[in-house]
Chains A and B, each alone.
Chain A
């Protein structure tokens, strides 16, 4: 046990550095994926049939192929044409992947908004855009928040695959540790702890947001 704690402490500067890389990588990917997901969801709900096909095809390809192959294809495909740091290639690949899942979450959120609420808003003279902003989007966010949080957690863990295109993020750091210390078990337990702490913090953040956005579902204060 004391050996474990010693190694844990010895490697903590490297792992903290790597935690920062993993967080920045995932945050960049998820920011892009929220925009991409909103666009794909809009296509999927479009009245124009070819646009819907496009969204279906995109989601089908992403869901039908392993993330690791998507990362390699985007990395080798993009770096063949432009110079791109591994960080951005990795972030783009994760964004490409998560956009499809987030699009489905956003679409389900909008479809769960009762038609009567949209009609009520429109009958008050609120435009399509104002109805989207004041009624549909806030309600969709409230219903999808737990599922979105789940997807963010998956994205944090999936970011470990970006180690295969040469990013020294958390998982790569544990592989390096395993190689230098000849203690693979210790190295992978250490990295598991780091991932776990990140995921627990993220879970708490989502729960806090959910609580803040659900005042309307709680019984009235006496």
Chain B
């Protein structure tokens, strides 16, 4: 677990300044400043359409920002092919819909980018892959194809695939939203263990239990801005902003 850590002396791993994102004439993010420290777990919550996923997708350049600057692990995000590939290799991303490569076995999914991007040899990629599959509890599924796994298993493989790149930060975009309720727990367990091991994480989620138990900080987005942020108990139990109170009111009603 030491490979992915970069000594930064308090320098944030993710530094976002004045992030503006417009789709056509719609402003989705309107001047967001957000830092994520080494080892910090930040959950992004808020009503749908608040721009949580968009913000997360801006961090690794899947969405191109209209204005502002993003730095990850001391490197400024720019949109040249070379720079994007270099930075993305250091940022793990887990998607709502898993997005495992269906034509590859579980092991091939976990090994392909290690080989193509990091230039690791076959044996090295496979042994690192086996280690991570073991860690997410799926060592015995290495030769299975994704279609033969449950959603929860697929998402755990997707987490292992991202971890195999030894990322400086992990991004989770609603990782449990596509899962049947009984499969949510196994994915959250893996994420919580990851957080306990000191991984830097940004998590967009509707799972308030996860936010409460694993997050160092909860950031509540609304109307393209940060409505409120702070320790989970503060934001979730006694929000001070009007938007925060309204959002939690809505949650309580369900």
Contact A124 B113 (CB under 8 A): yes
Whether A124 touches B165, Cβ cut-off 8 Å, given contacts A216-B145, A220-B144, A220-B145, is yes
Interface residues of A in 165-222 (CB under 8 A from B): 213, 215-217, 219-220
Asked if B93 is at the interface (CB within 8 A of a chain A CB), the reply is yes
A125: which of B88, B146, B148 is its contact (CB, 8 Å)?
B88
CB distance from B109 to the nearest CB of A (A): 9
Contact B148 A122 (CB under 8 A): no
Asked if B124 is at the interface (CB within 8 A of a chain A CB), the reply is no
Contact A123 B147 (CB under 8 A): no
Interface residues of B in 92-150 (CB under 8 A from A): 93, 95, 97, 99-104, 112-113, 116-117, 144-148
In the complex, what residues of B have CB within 8 A of residue A217's CB?
Answer: 145, 147
Contact B88 A123 (CB under 8 A): yes
CB distance from B84 to the nearest CB of A (A): 8
Chain A 125-149 interface 0/1 with B at a Cβ cutoff of 8 Å (1 = within): 1111010001100110010000000
Interface size for B (C-beta < 8 A) is: 33
CB distance from B144 to the nearest CB of A (A): 6
Q: Which chain A residue shows the least CB distance to B105? A: A216
Contact B162 A124 (CB under 8 A): yes
Instruction: Give the CA-CA distance A26 to B7 in the complex, in Å.
Output: 63
Contact A125 B86 (CB under 8 A): yes
Contact B95 A124 (CB under 8 A): no
Whether A125 touches B85, Cβ cut-off 8 Å, given contacts A216-B145, A220-B148, is yes
Segment at the B interface, from A35-43, A100-108, A112-120, A152-160: A112-120
Binding site for A on B (CB under 8 A): 60, 62, 81, 84-91, 93, 95, 97, 99-104, 112-113, 116-117, 144-148, 158, 161-162, 165
The 3 lowest CB-CB distance pairs between A and B, nearest first, are A125-B89, A120-B99, A124-B113
Selected A-B contacts with CB under 8 Å, 19 pairs = A116-B95, A116-B99, A117-B99, A120-B95, A120-B100, A121-B101, A123-B62, A124-B88, A126-B85, A134-B101, A138-B103, A139-B102, A216-B102, A216-B104, A216-B145, A216-B146, A216-B147, A217-B147, A220-B148
Binding site for B on A (CB under 8 A): 114, 116-117, 119-128, 130, 134-135, 138-139, 142, 213, 215-217, 219-220
